[in-house]
Structure 1
Amino acid sequence: MRLFPDSFRTTDGLNLRCYAVQPTTGSPLACVILVHGLGDHAQSLPYQNLSACFTARNFAVFGFDLRGHGRSQGRRMYVGTFQELVQDLRLFVKLVRDFSEDSPLFLVGMSLGGLIALNCASQHPDDLSGVVAIAPATNAAGVPLAVRLLMPLLSQLAPHLSINPGLDLAGISRDVEAAKAYTNDPLFQTCTTPRLAAEVLKTIAKSEQLASSLYLPLLLLHGTADTIVPARGTAVFFQHAASSDKKRLTYPGAYHNLLLEPNREQVFTDIVRWIEDRL
């Protein structure tokens, strides 16, 4: 049996840590690539829970720590351009495709990971069967106005400076204990850099254009009480998405990280069933 590598090399020479979990019985029905959010990593609590749900339903699950995150190389929380993140994911998709051969392949991205996954699905749809975006960063209203105004300037003057972007961490989940365990993870990072923040904001501003170029099957999920990435972002994105097979699910009263919410089992089920219906 072939073993999946524990890292891969980017075009600019960084080693990014990656992971794979195979179902225990038989060949997988499909493969899923999980793309984590800002300051997170691929083996944090929400992705462990979602991975367990997928493998129990006979899916193979793959993930990697974004550059500058988790156990991957790269200056902490820094990118030169947002496109570096998209290209890293594209390389990983190719790696998984070569490993899994003809299995259907889906992207599942959370928050910043959702924005990366949507961009990758738009630019490089050939190897993919669909994309799932959970509270994707398609709206910047949850970022304090001062941060939004200052980041483009700071990105030029002090691109590597470590800053707190002022996001409402209390808005991660209504499950206080789960949110506490999540943010107490030693690999979790609350600070970012002006360059990364500016590049994300610049990409968010192009969300409608991105949506109009996305033709793959699309599932969007959002909590209506999300203060970090307000749910109206996915409402607008859904309206403009070019896909003929698109669905948007909302969860009344739910906060930002649906994978940590008290009703997370329902979220897991909704994602798995949507993918199963497209096999």
Structure 2
Amino acid sequence: MESTMFPTSFTSTDGLRLCCYVARPSTNPPRAHVILVHGLGDHGRSLPYRYLTDYLTTHQFAIYTYDWRGHGQSEGARMFTPAWQNVCDDLHTFVDLVQRETPDGPLFLVGLSLGGLLALHYAQQQPDGLKGVVAIAPALDASGVPPLIRWVIPVLSRLVPRAVINPGLDLAHISRDVTAVQEYTSDPLFQTHTTPRLAAEVLKAMSETGAQAARFRLPLLILHGEADTIVRPAGSAHFFAQVSMADKERLTYPGAYHNLLIEQNREQVFADMRQWLERHL
């Protein structure tokens, strides 16, 4: 069943217009509502989220997503945020918007990569009204960043916060599905650069979120490809081990790369996610 997405927008606390999208089942009321949080350089209607949206709406879930500030069709300097708190505030504003529209339905957060980090960080701080979190290859491990780079990035953030830098993403390691990767990365809204300020804020958020893992209090599902070299699985494994909640699950996929939503085994990933969501309705 093909889902239909209806673009609209909302305004951030500092006045930016951020684009958002809704996809609902074409038959029957939704069983639950899912907010998708995209990753770095991505946007809410890119190929991975279209795949997942089509699957979940077929199974009677309503989907809500938005383009981060400086991403996709949203306003803001490209790949820039003044502070991580601005990104968190944007998600909080969007969650409030969805909750006002769907006051009676279960609401889940699903985040991929940097979106997974944001979903976890947000749920630590603002768990009220959320039924659970699914974090797909969450960006929790900065061990792959050389120490010199980790030292230089905060300096550049202070001196030239909006400068364009290339983090050296290896596109071949996004997924083993070469055709999907080509379509995904040829999207004109897909971005591979970043800025020193955003990079510095992400590094701080990784550290803060990991340090507060024990305070996580919502049902949690983590999904990670075992061959992910972009975000190493060790980070999500460590976070998972520190979460004291009994209602937690972590699934890994042998041979799978970073973006499980466009991986060769994505149907299995989708099914695992759906079954977990259904168990938590």
- Scaled to the shorter chain, the TM-score interval is over 0.9
Which residue in 2 is equivalent to 1:256? 258
In the TM superposition, what whole-angstrom CA distance separates every residue of 1:223-250 from its partner, at most 9, and x where no partner exists? 1111110000011000011322100000
Q: Structure 2 residue aligned with 1:160, among 150, 157, 162?
A: 162
Q: Deviations over 1:114-139 (max 9, x none)?
A: 01111111111111000000000000
CA distance in 2, matches of 1:8, 1:72: 10
- The residue number in structure 2 matching 1:8 is 10
Which one of the candidate residues 203, 206, 212 is aligned to 1:204? 206
Q: Check conservation: 2:6, 2:23, Cα contact below 8 A.
A: no
Report if aligned partners of 2:213, 2:239 keep a CA contact under 8 Å in 1. Answer: yes
Structure 1 gap segments, 5+ residues each: none
Deviation at 1:148, TM superposition (A): 2.3
Work out the CA distance in 1 between the residues paired with 2:185 and 2:221: 27
Give structure 2 stretches of 5+ with no counterpart. none
Q: In the aligned structure 2, how far is the partner of 1:109 from the partner of 1:144? A: 26
Alpha-carbon shift at residue 145 of structure 1 (Å) = 4.5
C-alpha separation in 2, matches of 1:144 and 1:65: 30
Q: State the Cα distance separating 1:170 from its structure 2 match.
A: 1.7
Aligned to 1:34: 36
Code of the aligned partner of 1:33: I
8 Å CA contact retained: 2:121, 2:209: no
Shift of 1:149: 2.7
| Offset, 1:207 | 3.2
Structure 1 counterpart of 2:89, from 70, 87, 90: 87
Alignment of 1:1-279 (within 5 A): 6-279=8-281
Partner of 1:259: helix, strand, or coil? helix
Do the aligned residues in 1 keep the contact of 2:6 with 2:22 (CA within 8 Å)? yes
Under a length normalisation based on structure 2, what TM-score does the superposition of the two structures give? 0.96
> What is the CA distance between 1:143 and its match in structure 2?
3.5
Normalization by structure 1: what TM-score? 0.96
Runs of 4+ in 1 over 6 A off after TM superposition: none
How large is the Cα RMSD of the aligned pairs? 1.3
